[in-house]
A and B are shown apart, each in its own frame.
Chain A
Amino acid sequence: MADMNMAKPIIELQSVSVGYDNRDVLKDMRIALQPGSFTFVTGKSGSGKTTLLNLLYLNKKPSKGVLNIFGHNINFANRDNLARLRQKIGVVFQDFRLLEHLSVYDNIALPLRVRGMNEKDIYKRVIELLKWIELHKSIYKTCNTLSGGEKQRVAIARAVIGRPDILFADEPTGSVDFEMADKLMRLFVELNRVGTTVIIATHNEYLTLTYNYQRIDLNNGTAKLYPALKRV
């Protein structure tokens, strides 16, 4: 993991508020996450986890305050800059958000295609990942024929295929069995080990206890950062 004291934050929220209908869902948030860090985002339902993730994966701009990602002030980023920054981010959505009319292969290949990678290299990467998530037999199935667990694996594969600098996951183990959840968590840990900053929003206390990483706890729109517990 990178030296967290030295590096410039990869994500920095300076007094950020986000609101819907004149109501602040996130209030005056001040968070700085270092490159290569692994963070859980926890909190009760409605505490603002999804809104925070929306903000961080650049689906929403702050109503107040400054959000810096990769050193760029998002408030002033134009459409093309936002797209360029998003290409360095992988997202696993809680509701998967797959393109249902496309095959498993095409869904996973999507982040590489938008970057203009050639089809031969895309094929190599996608097949490799499909084997890893054990979906290589379903390569040409359209996503609307997959089970919830399979969809989740495809969503995760799509998020990691581009080897992102930051990976966001919203309840990534919610629809898979224990064994697959463990396998996916090992994938996230492995990605983090090679330098990806990982942020996982979860309800699953087992995950936060088993994997000892820092945690942002959200409560009523405010955030508190808890460092990783020191192992005894």
Chain B
Amino acid sequence: MNRDFMRKNDISVEDDDSSVFMYVLTSIYMYLFIIILAIVMAVNSMASSWEKDIMGAITVQIIPVESDDKHIDVDKTQELVNDVLHYMENVSGIETVRVLDTKTVEKLMTPWLGNKVDISLLPIPQLLDVQLKKDAEINYDEITRGLHKVSPNASIDNHRLWLNKLIKFASSLRNIALTVLFMVILICAFSIYYSARTSLGININSIEILHLVGAYDDYIARQYARNYAKIGFFSGIIGLMFAVPCILLIGKYGLSTGSGLLSGASLSGTAWFFIMMTPLFSYGYAMVTSYYTVRKSLEKMF
């Protein structure tokens, strides 16, 4: 093996207490960083999926027709559904229209009503899932008016209103998470700064010797940067080892709620790639932060 790789640092930065402290602290920071990063990416993906829903679909709901004895008139309701279906199929910009079957509606209602309710007994509206053509310009007011002409029982739910609120909420959540992420990065930089400064104080004699044999500040700073890069990388690995199971667990619980809203909060392959790359990020971040800390501190110290 290369002797240069094997040799010890000229300054005993690896052995001083600040290094051990930094391994523990940076691992915790990296754990938090990865979890928050995953949250940011998941919320982002969730908001994008909602946005896609807004752009690509509308729902038409038809309130069942009641007979004179206040029971649901199945035949008339079905007739109405067919009329609405026919109307919607002829609206420009519509890709497909389909009637949601009872099982799908049941599934949608389960989170609110539970499994034990027979929804065929309830006056549940008939739902039409309308998929829009890509980039289609839809006049929702015109559709609303047209539907009203077909039947006052039919109305449009374009998801936009309530999804817009949800998207705003998701956006705020993402901004908060990004702020926390930024703060974790900042605190990590402060920790590296103070740890490097402490280590410089501990090793002041070695640094003076290095200066006296002609070492540039860059040479000394690189020794620190090499050590902190190592701390950053291994802390990143440790943080990842603890964070990945947590992310998977959160994902598992999120999906088990069966909520269609949360299903968009999955992590893509790219998101996982970024998560897996965090040890390299922490490697570079710790290296650069410690390098400039030492350079600046040396200028003030000697």
Contacts and interface: CB of A to CB of B under 8 A. Distances in A.
A44 interface: no
Contacts of B212: 57-59, 86, 91, 97
A97 B205 contact: yes
Contact of B213 (A79, A86, A101, A123): A86
B215 A101 contact: no
Contacts of B205: 97
B148 interface: no
Interface in B195-223: 205-206, 208-217, 219
Contacts of A57: 212
Interface in A131-174: 158, 162
- 10 smallest CB-CB distances across A and B, nearest first, come from A87-B214, A86-B214, A114-B215, A101-B12, A111-B213, A83-B216, A97-B209, A114-B214, A119-B4, A110-B213
Contact of B8 (A91, A106, A158): A106
B12 A84 contact: no
Give the size range of B's interface with the partner: 20 to 34
B210 A114 contact: yes
Contacts of A111: 213-214
B16 to A, nearest CB: 10
A79 B299 contact: yes
Contacts of B209: 97-99, 110
Contact of B214 (A83, A97, A98, A99): A83
A114 B219 contact: yes
B70 interface: no
Interface string A93-125: 000011101100010001101110001000100
A83 B211 contact: yes
A123 B3 CA distance: 10
Contacts of A91: 212-213
B299 to A, nearest CB: 7
B73 interface: no
B10 interface: yes
A162 B2 CA distance: 23
Contacts of B134: none
Interface of B: 2-4, 7-8, 10-12, 15, 205-206, 208-217, 219, 299, 302
Contact of B217 (A79, A97, A99, A113): A79
A79 B215 CA distance: 10
Contacts of B10: 99, 102, 106, 110, 113
A3 interface: no
Nearest to A111: B213
A78 to B, nearest CB: 10
Contacts of B219: 114
Interface in A20-69: 57-59
Contacts of A83: 211, 214-217
Nearest to A59: B212
B3 A119 contact: yes
Interface string A73-97: 0000001100110111101000001
Contacts of A99: 10-12, 206, 209
A102 B216 contact: no
Contacts of A89: 214
A92 B206 CA distance: 15
A89 B214 CA distance: 8
A110 B210 contact: yes
Contacts of B211: 83, 86
A118 B155 CA distance: 81
B206 A80 contact: no
A59 B216 CA distance: 14
Interface centre among B8, B205, B210, B216 (most CB of A within 10 A): B216
A33 to B, nearest CB: 19
Contacts of B214: 83-84, 86-89, 111, 114-115, 162
A158 B10 CA distance: 14
Contacts of B15: 101
